[in-house]
Amino acid sequence: MKSLRQKLRDGDLVLGQMVLELFTSGIGPMLAAAEMEFVLYDMEHGRCDMAMLAEMVASCRGSHIVPMCRVPDFNFRPLSRVLDLGVKGVMVPRVETREQAEEIVAQLKYAPVGRRGVALGIAHDLYQAGTPEFFAQANDEIIVILLLETAKAFENLDEILSVPGIDVAWMGHYDLTVSMGIPAQFEHPRFLAAMDALVDCCRRHGIAPGFLPATPEAAAHWISQGFRCISLGSDIGVFLNAMRGFRKSVMDSRVSPKS
């Protein structure tokens, strides 16, 4: 079976969900049961900290779901702290320059590719220090995700995505529109041009474009436009939409009691 990173390299579509609120040990396995391929725990806007993340990652063992996380920011040092808990992919917010991209890859990969610190026999290797081959294997498994969400990032897009070792370039749509002076205007020509530019640049550099569409219709559209790493909404959005739809269906189908 192909790893998630290999699927991204091969141009496959991968689906998962970003979790901002429902940090329960069941969320990862539930997403796996729903045939999702990854869960992305949010430490930037969500209430997840290191202790909670450790529990979430441990709860994913035994299922096929790939645990990933969004760290709070670029200065969350070292970025590899979350990898030592067993996270298999790391999203870093507000990447704007090639130098930042190079530093991110360096912190998340072992030498000779990078300079990730070594601690073996802990959570990430299931407390069993491996053979010398472990380091290359770990480098081949870890997914590096850059969150591009400012006008400056898109000015430097080609330079950023030319850095070796990047797997996913994720569109930060709300922040980008705010940065561009067109807040939440997702039909604006400048935003749509940025979406096209991201897909085109990713295609040239062999990187998967990533996005979080809020609706099934938006997901289908952006997948058709070339986005390949997709969060199917967020836990909050999907739960609220489902609950509202459930309630509406109940209320609409009520039969008035006989008088």
Active-site amino acid positions: 45
Residue 18 near residue 44, CB atoms below 8 Å: no
Q: How is the chain classified by DSSP, letter by letter?
A: ---HHHHHHTT--EEEEEESS---TTHHHHHHHTT-SEEEEESSSSS--HHHHHHHHHHHTTSS-EEEEE-S-TTSSSGGGTGGGT--EEEES---SHHHHHHHHHHHS-TTT--PPP--SSGGGTT----TTHHHHHHHHPEEEEEE-SHHHHHTHHHHHTSTT--EEEE-HHHHHHHTT-TT-TTSHHHHHHHHHHHHHHHHHT-EEEE--SSHHHHHHHHHTT--EEEEEEHHHHHHHHHHHHHHHHHHT--PPP-
Q: Using the Cα atoms of residue 36, residue 40, residue 42 and residue 45 in order, give the sign of their dihedral.
A: negative
Question: Rounded to whole angstroms, how far apart are CA atoms 50 and 19?
Answer: 15
Tokens of 56: 């979430």
Question: Rounded to whole angstroms, how far apart are CA atoms 162 and 173?
Answer: 21
Question: Rounded to whole angstroms, how far apart are CA atoms 47 and 61?
Answer: 22
